[in-house]
């Protein structure tokens, strides 16, 4: 019985404690009121005061202004709401200007006029919304000033760290943008530099030491044949220097004077066998330079257009063209496919960036500007492009340093540091 009473007491105590913990849990888990979402649509940060519309509150005694950016389906507007003792005042009684100090010492200045219950800025707030904000207000003879940072798409990387990850930069500036006629092609031997070797007399092959791929010099022995007529041996030699690309002979084989036993090609110059589209024909003529690019390595070289067929294909609406390509080191191997580009127009633009430097940020095409140890996105409007360069219509001034190699590292740091709007 004593044990049972003790058990009941323990159960009661546990129930009371559990109930208290449950209530306490409800109290502790009660979320603080969610601050209003700003007119820009961002979730407000908790490191400064938010106003009734989710904007940043700036206070000077009993006078205050709420700074917002409004952009639902319209270009971003700067809207400012004035208060005295936390009560709205007539915006027409407040004289206000604002400066947005951007990357690279650019300053956007805003003046304001009354629009309903707020002051509306005189210009659009351009992206990116990254700047040092300075606000100047005058109300009933009292002047107030505020300054704060509002950065987006910006990160700081030390010089040592930047060197460690291979960041490289250069100044944006004028560049020639090429418009190309693009073609596909294949590397083949130069048919004018091919020698087909046959025995002088029929006979039996005694020796044939050379094989496909061997390089030979003019006059070098390729095979030894015993003549059927004289029963004496004679040498079959290379008529030109080059590479053996075909062999049809073996020791002990009977050969005739009509049989080709070796084919030698001088591959120091090769041909690019091209398919040309009908629409590109007006740009083509013998003697024009054409850029050849390896499909795999991306390596390029310049060839000269030497032949344009007078006949086209009815089925493909293409015709054959031949370009002559120097190949002294043998890196352009026959049989491999390549890409060819012919410059049909060349235009110099005031500002261009390297195509490889381009990154995407949200829905924007961007590069990352550099100023000392600070990096920030530049949102670009782009124009013409070629394989190497792309025209910048707006968003980047000539002379601005931008990252040309490993820009993805900066993008990753920006994303880690938080890239959301903060107003």
pLDDT of residue 419: 52
pLDDT of residue 117: 95
pLDDT along the chain (423 residues), means of 10: 42 40 30 32 60 95 95 90 97 97 90 96 92 96 95 90 93 90 90 94 93 94 92 94 94 94 95 88 84 88 91 85 93 92 86 94 92 92 89 94 94 76 50
Question: What tokens does 418 get?
Answer: 């938080």
Return the CATH number at 277.
2.40.30.170
Tell me 39's DSSP state: T
- How many independent structural domains does the chain possess? 4
Quick one: 201 and 284 in the same domain? no
Quick one: 62 and 145 in the same domain? yes
- Host domain of residue 301: 180-188+268-345
Quick one: 60 and 143 in the same domain? yes
- For residue 34, being part of any structural domain is answered with no
Alpha-carbon distance values, 300 to 139, 225, 303, 323, 327 (Å): 67, 44, 10, 14, 12
Return the CATH number at 245.
2.40.50.100
Quick one: 69 and 138 in the same domain? yes
Quick one: 65 and 136 in the same domain? yes
Quick one: 226 and 297 in the same domain? no
As to burial, measured by CB atoms within 10 angstroms (0-12 exposed, 13-18 middle, 19+ buried), residue 328 is exposed
Q: For the beta carbon of residue 281, count every other beta carbon within 10 angstroms.
A: 15
- For residue 353, being part of any structural domain is answered with yes
- For residue 31, being part of any structural domain is answered with no
Quick one: 376 and 244 in the same domain? no
- For residue 35, being part of any structural domain is answered with no
Instruction: Determine the Cα–Cα distance for residues 421 and 38; give it in Å rounded to an integer.
Output: 10
Instruction: Determine the Cα–Cα distance for residues 110 and 114; give it in Å rounded to an integer.
Output: 13
Quick one: 94 and 217 in the same domain? no
Quick one: 159 and 121 in the same domain? no
Tell me 357's DSSP state: G
- Mark which of 245, 265, 285 sits at the end of a domain: 265
pLDDT of residue 74: 87
- Mark which of 207, 241, 265 sits at the end of a domain: 265
pLDDT of residue 418: 59
C-alpha angle 294-298-302 in degrees, rounded to nearest 5: 60
- For residue 76, being part of any structural domain is answered with yes
Q: For the beta carbon of residue 268, count every other beta carbon within 10 angstroms.
A: 15
pLDDT of residue 230: 83
Return the CATH number at 400.
2.40.420.20
pLDDT of residue 343: 81
């Amino acid at each position: 019985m004593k044990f049972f009473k003790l058990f009941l007491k323990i159960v009661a105590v546990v129930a009371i404690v559990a109930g208290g913990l449950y209530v306490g849990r409800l109290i502790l888990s009660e979320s603080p009121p969610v601050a209003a979402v700003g007119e820009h649509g961002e979730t407000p940060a908790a490191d400064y005061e938010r106003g009734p519309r989710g904007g940043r509150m700036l206070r000077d005694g009993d006078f205050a202004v709420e700074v917002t950016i409004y952009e639902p389906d319209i270009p971003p507007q700067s809207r400012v709401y004035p208060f005295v003792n936390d009560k709205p005042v007539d915006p027409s009684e407040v004289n206000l200007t604002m400066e947005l100090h951007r990357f690279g010492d650019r300053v956007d200045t805003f003046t304001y006029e009354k629009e309903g219950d707020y002051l509306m800025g005189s210009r659009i707030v351009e992206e990116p919304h990254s700047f040092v904000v300075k606000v100047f207000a005058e109300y009933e003879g009292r002047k107030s000033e505020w300054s704060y940072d509002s950065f987006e798409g910006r990160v700081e990387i030390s010089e040592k760290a930047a060197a460690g990850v291979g960041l490289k930069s250069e100044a944006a500036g004028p560049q020639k943008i090429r418009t190309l006629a693009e073609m596909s092609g294949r590397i083949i031997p130069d048919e004018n530099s091919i020698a087909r070797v046959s025995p002088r007399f029929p006979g039996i092959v005694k020796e044939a030491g050379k094989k496909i791929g061997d390089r030979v010099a003019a006059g070098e022995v390729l095979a030894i044949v015993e003549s059927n007529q004289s029963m004496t041996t004679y040498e079959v030699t290379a008529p030109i220097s080059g590479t053996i690309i075909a062999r049809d002979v073996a020791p002990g084989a009977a050969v005739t004077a009509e049989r080709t036993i070796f084919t030698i090609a001088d591959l120091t110059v090769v041909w690019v066998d091209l398919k040309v589209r009908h629409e590109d024909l007006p740009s083509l003529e013998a003697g024009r330079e054409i850029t050849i690019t390896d499909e795999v390595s991306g390596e390029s070289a310049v060839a000269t257009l030497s032949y344009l067929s007078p006949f086209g294909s009815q089925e493909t609406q293409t015709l054959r063209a031949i370009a002559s390509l120097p190949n002294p080191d043998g890196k352009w191997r026959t049989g491999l496919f390549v890409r060819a580009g012919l410059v049909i127009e060349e235009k110099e633009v005031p500002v261009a960036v390297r195509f490889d430097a381009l990154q995407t940020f949200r829905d924007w095409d961007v590069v990352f500007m550099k100023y000392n140890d600070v990096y920030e996105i530049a949102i670009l409007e782009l124009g013409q492009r070629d394989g190497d360069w792309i025209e910048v219509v707006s968003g980047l001034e000539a002379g601005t340093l931008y990252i040309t190699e490993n820009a993805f590292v900066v993008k990753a740091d920006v994303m880690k540091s938080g890239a959301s709007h903060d107003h």
